[in-house]
Amino acid sequence: MAGHSKWNNIKRRKGAQDAKKGKIFMRHAKNIYTAAKEGGGDPEMNPALRTVIEKARADNMPNDNIERAIKKATGTLDGVSYEEVTYEGYGPGGVAVIVHVLTDNRNRTAAEIRHAFSKNGGNLGETGSVSFMFERKGYIAILNEAEVDEEELTLEAIEAGADDILTQEQAFEILTLPEQFKEVRDHLVDKGYHLEEAEITLLPQTYTEVSVEDKEKMHALVDMLEESEDVQDIYHNMQLND
């Protein structure tokens, strides 16, 4: 089902972000931060970090931005202390929303998040108000291109420890347990596959159908949240049919 595919959300997000260079840099910064947080800030010792840095440089991301993202992850950014905060709430039409941020000013960020929700027909909730609706999973997307053999990819992924593989029109989606993610990811990279997306994510266990009007408001909420440089990830359970 289209709404049960994370790829639909990635596809829309990338389409919107790629229209603006600043958004491209923000996406690269997030990927660099995540890789450095997981495997350390030295690209020579961290292949995942080396890969995302190469992608960032291919899009002409300044070295200062790259270094700042690494220092955020390793806690070595002079004079600045960052903390990870999670916000939960409901968007228009009762859509469950989780927002992960990395901030050096919790009060400023909380005000920005609250304003985005209230302006677009949503409201913030307490910790735990919607997180039970999501499941933590490893997620890998590989573009569904002619040179990718579905049967061979399936066998390789399952052999490495994947839980499930979903075939979409534009991409293969591979799901893993969080503790198996790194092993599956590294195995597929070693086999020569290009990973369009690879992350530990939150997947909805149920989806919410909304009206066309509420869907537009929900997209506006996501767009507004993404304008904040503190926002790292946004998860929601709106049914996507486009």
Answer yes or no: is pLDDT of 170 > 80.
yes
Residues 126 and 162 in one domain: no
Answer yes or no: is pLDDT of 11 > 60.
no
Question: Does any domain span residue 230?
Answer: yes
Question: Does any domain span residue 114?
Answer: yes
The 8-class DSSP code of residue 80 comes to: -
The pLDDT of residue 86 is 97
| Least confidently predicted of 28-37, 40-49, 185-194, 198-207 | 28-37
Residues 22 and 38 in one domain: yes
Residues 141 and 57 in one domain: no
Question: Does any domain span residue 242?
Answer: no
> In the chain, how many domains are there?
3
Query: Cβ of 189: how many Cβ atoms within 10 Å?
Result: 16
Question: Does any domain span residue 152?
Answer: yes
Residues 12 and 47 in one domain: yes
Residue predicted with more confidence, 93 or 18: 93
CA 15/CA 221 separation, integer angstroms: 16
Residues 61 and 17 in one domain: yes
Among 49, 74, 99, the domain boundary falls at 74
What's the CA angle centered on 149, arms 145 and 155, to 5 degrees? 135
Answer yes or no: is pLDDT of 198 > 90.
no
Q: Quote the pTM value.
A: 0.78
| Least confidently predicted of 79-83, 107-111, 207-211, 222-226 | 79-83
pLDDT tens for 109-150 read 999 999 999 999 999 999 999 999 999 999 999 998 888 999
pLDDT tens for 39-94 read 899 999 998 898 889 889 988 999 999 998 999 888 877 767 778 899 999 999 99
Question: Does any domain span residue 216?
Answer: yes
CATH number of the structural domain spanning residue 29: 1.10.10.200
Answer yes or no: is pLDDT of 1 > 80.
no
Question: Does any domain span residue 241?
Answer: no
| Least confidently predicted of 72-81, 186-195, 227-236 | 72-81
Question: Does any domain span residue 184?
Answer: yes
Residues 17 and 67 in one domain: yes
Token look-up 């913030």 returns: 124
Residues 63 and 106 in one domain: no
Residues 141 and 184 in one domain: yes
The pLDDT of residue 7 is 63
CA 137/CA 150 separation, integer angstroms: 21
The pLDDT of residue 2 is 39
Question: Does any domain span residue 111?
Answer: yes
Answer yes or no: is pLDDT of 152 > 80.
yes
Cβ proximity of 37 and 102 under 8 Å: no
Q: Which domain, by its residues, includes 169? A: 134-204
Residues 11 and 111 in one domain: no
Residues 6 and 59 in one domain: yes
Residues 12 and 126 in one domain: no
CATH number of the structural domain spanning residue 115: 3.30.70.980
Answer yes or no: is pLDDT of 8 > 70.
no
What average pLDDT does this structure show over 203-218?
Answer: 94
The pLDDT of residue 3 is 43
